[in-house]
Amino acid sequence: MGKLFSKLFGNKEMRILMLGLDAAGKTTILYRLKLRDSVATIPTVGFNVETVTYGKLRFNVWDVGGQEKIRPLWRHYYTGTQGLIFVVDSADRDRIEEAQIELHRIANDKEMQDAIILVFANKQDIPDGTYSYFYFSSLGHTQSAKE
């Protein structure tokens, strides 16, 4: 996968924004990428930013809290974003429509027009975790990474 990223982006630094509803697992994913280990987290009020190195690429990953009161502030982080990781809690079926609305709001913003979007279906390993294709298609997309 490192070769693919290198071909697409060369040797450079990228700004990645990690968004999703509260309790989707954004901060856990960020520190798993950064430290290659699981860490205990608390709900993010504000943001976390870390540099993650993958091969010759450096990703500046901005993890922004997903509570409903914080979401209107997300747009302030869009400028200069090259990639979006939108994290969805696969076990939280009751909030898929809410996640869909937020993802569409982000994707339709002119500041995010050129950003690459990855929908990350998290928590598939726990009971009630749903296969990622269900979430992907429920979010209004027609092709998953597994296809």
100 flagged as catalytic? no
For residue range 70-119, list pLDDT tens digits in order: 999 999 999 999 999 999 998 898 999 999 999 999 999 999 999 999 99
What residues have CB less than 8 Å from 107, skipping those under 6 apart?
Answer: 117
Cβ atoms of 140 and 101 within 8 Å: the answer is no
Q: Is 25 annotated as a binding residue?
A: yes
Which residues are 85's β-sheet partners? 18, 118
CA–CA distance, 16 with 49 (Å, rounded to integer): 10
Q: Is 94 annotated as a binding residue?
A: no
Which pTM value belongs to this model? 0.84
Please name each of the domains of the chain with its CATH number. 11-138 (3.40.50.300)
Maximum CA pair distance of the chain?
41
For residue range 32-70, list pLDDT tens digits in order: 999 999 999 999 999 999 999 988 899 999 999 999 999
Question: Which tokens sit at 6?
Answer: 């290198």
Q: Is 20 annotated as a binding residue?
A: yes
Catalytic residue among 67, 100, 113, 143: 67
